[in-house]
Amino acid sequence: MLADYAVRVEQSRGRRYPEPQHPYRDDFQRDRDRVIHSRAFRRLEAKTQVFTRRYSDHFRNRLTHTIEVAQIARTIAAQLGLNVDLVEALALVHDVGHPPFGHAGEKALDAAMREHGFFFDHNLHALRIVEDFELRYAAFRGLNLTFEVREGIIKHSHDYAVDQFPELAEYLLDLRPPLEAQLIDVADEIAYSTADLDDGYESHLLTLEQIRSGVPIFDRFYSEAESTYPEAIEKLKFNEALKRILNRWVGDLIENTNETIRQAAVNSIEEVRSYADRLATLSAPIEQERRDAKDFLYKNLYFSASLNPEKIDAERVISELFHFWMAKPENLPSSYREKAAAEPLPRIICDYIAGMTDNYIYEQHEKQCGRR
């Protein structure tokens, strides 16, 4: 049963290009399936989350991270009475706009674009992917997703000002996104904050002692695991502590969002949209725990000396390729040269690079720039 404030598929604002109803899948289910079958979704498997494959094949990549976010988001949505199909579609599509090399790649691509008066935003790039770049259907370009999924792509984690982004006016920028979109951002934060502790420990870039001293909630749950399973090996106690953190944060998000909805007296999707603040939130104490874990990861993992050489190399590769094609656009593939006749060259180059996997961009760099 859907809550009164959930998005109902029969009330969807529809697709940009009308299509007949499917005999046994509703529109949000079809959107989910279109995302899964897209090329951009498949490419996530070869894009860095935190660790490149130089470390191990066991660590999360952008695709496995996306699947974990979808699992967490579905669980939360079901407990809140939200539209699980819409939530799953949004979770699966939320990272398709990311370039190669994780956040280092995004930083380098944005810096290259700003030299020419533009910028890179992975949410807006994801919208370009599903609206234009994916070519699967004879009747239209893109995936022709429903309004609610397209809106969630750009609004799940960021509020865009109407006056700064007039081209996005159709997406109700003066209103909040539905709860289905709101919870994706928090589920994403929960997923990577716990997963990156796991991968950091497995990579031996983070020690158990570091994590216990730097993340108090982990230390508490690890101590409980030691008491409950004294004979277990260290890694299994570690897993038990992470599991308890994940359960604690997910449970709090469910309970706190329910309470926030109750206090706000929200009873419809219209009231969710017009409410002053986002309603899908962690409670203040748990949000502080999450921030503490995130701060620890930034200080000890994301900007660690061990990962820094790969970040520098990633930024160099993207920067050199971008500048190469700016100087020699004739070396771009023919399809991108054709697009450059109608759109600014920096944007076309950005689109090309952002769609690359880690492996492919290295191949292109070696081919075009002559060295790794």
Domain-located, residue 85: yes
**CA 269, 270, 276: angle at the middle one, nearest 5?**
105
Instruction: Supply the range of the domain harboring residue 46.
Output: 9-308
pLDDT at 185: 96
171: left (phi over 0), alpha (psi -120 to 50) or beta: alpha
What is the pLDDT averaged over residues 139-155?
97
pLDDT at 371: 61
What is the pLDDT averaged over residues 316-340?
95
What is the pLDDT averaged over residues 151-162?
94
How many CB atoms neighbour CB 213 within 10 A?
A: 12
pLDDT at 202: 93
What is the pLDDT averaged over residues 228-237?
97
Residues 75-84 pLDDT 10s: 999 999 999 9
Domain-located, residue 41: yes
Helices (H), 25-165: 27-36, 39-43, 62-80, 84-93, 102-114, 122-128, 147-155
pLDDT at 50: 86
Domain-located, residue 15: yes
pLDDT at 253: 98
pLDDT at 55: 64
For residue 221, which of 204, 198, 246, 199 has the smallest C-alpha distance?
246
Domain-located, residue 229: yes
CATH number for the domain spanning 272: value is 1.10.3210.10
pLDDT at 51: 78
Domain-located, residue 252: yes
The dihedral formed by the CA atoms of 54, 55, 61 and 67, expressed in degrees to the nearest 10: 150
Distances (CA, A) of 233 to 56, 96, 200, 236, 239: 21, 37, 18, 6, 10
Residues 121-146 pLDDT 10s: 999 999 999 999 999 999 999 999 99
> Average model confidence (pLDDT) for the chain?
95
pLDDT at 299: 95
pLDDT at 306: 86
Q: What are phi and psi of 355, to 5 degrees?
A: -80, -10
pLDDT at 56: 64
> What's the distance, Cα to Cα, between the start and end of the chain in Å?
55
Residues 29-69 pLDDT 10s: 999 999 999 999 999 999 988 876 666 677 899 999 999 99
- Asked whether residue 74 carries a pLDDT value surpassing 80, the answer given is yes
- Asked whether residue 372 carries a pLDDT value surpassing 70, the answer given is no
Domain-located, residue 334: no
- Asked whether residue 13 carries a pLDDT value surpassing 90, the answer given is yes
Number of domains into which the chain is organized: 1
Residues 242-277 pLDDT 10s: 999 999 999 999 999 999 999 999 999 999 999 999
What is the pLDDT averaged over residues 105-114?
95
Residues 189-227 pLDDT 10s: 999 999 999 999 999 999 999 999 999 999 999 999 999
Domain-located, residue 71: yes
Domain-located, residue 331: no
For residue 181, which of 151, 212, 214, 219 has the smallest C-alpha distance?
151
- Give the residue with greater pLDDT, 178 vs 306: 178
pLDDT at 191: 97
Q: Positive or negative, the Cα torsion across 132, 135, 140, 146? A: negative
pTM over 0.75: yes
